[in-house]
Amino acid sequence: MNLGFEPNKMRKGARNMGKMLRKRWNEISEYDLDDVLEFFGLQRVPRPASRFLSGFALVMAGAVVGVALGMMLSPPSRKSYPQVRTPTHRERPPHPGGHVGAP
């Protein structure tokens, strides 16, 4: 059954349409959803989970920095440096009776 279309013209038209669609697709694929929303004057709203995780990450980073500063600024322990004499490491007077603990 011939509807008046020549096969060669059909193939050529299909090839031209394919080229045109590829060209248009390459132009369209450069855009994303944010570009379309911006065209209409809109923007994405961050998800609650992403907002929570970013806030949680900031709190944890602050905790890590606080712990590191606290460890750097704390006085050394007596066990680590027995030769260091500081006001916080006073010698205790001997216990009367010679032993420590309950009788």
Residues 38 and 49 occupy one common structural domain = no
Q: Taking the complete model, does pTM exceed 0.75, yes or no?
A: no
Residues 34 and 13 occupy one common structural domain = yes
What tokens does 12 get? 């050529």
Residues 38 and 22 occupy one common structural domain = yes
Residues 71 and 49 occupy one common structural domain = yes
Question: pLDDT per residue over 7-23, tens digit each?
Answer: 777 778 778 888 888 88
Burial readout 57-90 (b: 16 or more C-beta within 10 A, e: otherwise) = eeeeeeeeeeeeeeeeeeeeeeeeeeeeeeeeee
Q: Give the domain range for residue 49.
A: 45-78
Q: What is the Cα–Cα distance from 19 to 12, expressed in whole angstroms?
A: 11
State which residues of the chain have pLDDT below 70.
1-5, 29, 78, 80-82, 84-103
The total domain count for the chain is 2
